Structure 1
Amino acid sequence: MRLGTMPVVGTIAAIALALGGCGGSDGGDGMSDHEAADGAVRLAVADAAERTGVDEREVRVVLDEAVTWPDGSLGCPQPDQFYTQALVEGYRIVVEADGRTLHYHGRQGGDPAYCAEPQDPVAGDGPGTVDR
């Protein structure tokens, strides 16, 4: 008896879907939290290199941690802007390049944004340092 390709392909697809949930949560974009965090650091390093005019290899990551922001400004409020008044799970990345310290803030699953005048996240026992 000859096996058809559809049952085999169906079985492989089912296994792939079952295993796809392993290794971290998915923020809906197909990336695990770990992959998204690595991507955020890469974006911050690239931006810092561009802002300071140095090679990306000369940018040093000083801090990369998951935090809780006190509101939708993500610790980087801008004048004349309104923000949601709810806690926001996110992260902060601090890098050094060409003698400058640059801060990047983001919401969980979102891209980092440069923050010229950073504010601190909510104090307390937050989510902690991002596991690399």
Structure 2
Amino acid sequence: MDRTGDAAAAAGLHLALARDADARRRIVQMAGEFRPYDRYGPPRAGFSWRNLSWDAGTKAGCFLLKWEAGAKSEPHVHERGEEFLILEGGLVDSDGKRFQAGDYIVYDPGTHHFSTAPEGGCLMLVFLRGPNRFDPA
């Protein structure tokens, strides 16, 4: 994906964190680059991310996740659920279901799966409700 900012801009996202006059509200301005995907320790090859509101303590929040073509997630279980919106490209889930730009996917708590990004990669907006448990079964 060579148009990394196009989808974010189209979604009305502005890439730096700022507080406005109301200290209870944060405004995320999307300046700078995505960083290596290191939410689970050492950076994962084929993935980069932009934290919007994800909290390391609760393991919940929102972030942009970029997948390079061929990137594959580890098999995992969503302990509290996950939702995501495909902004660019697509994904193929472990059951063969294909997701494309514009699809909004909801995984209920207890869902077990993994996904792969086909040619062209994927850019998604992720809403993670709690931790994932890695489970190869």
Which protein shows a greater Rg?
1
Please state which structure has a larger fraction of its residues in strand: 2
Q: Do the structures match in fold with TM over 0.5?
A: no
With the length of structure 2 as denominator, give the TM-score of the two structures.
0.27
Please state which structure has a larger fraction of its residues in helix: 1
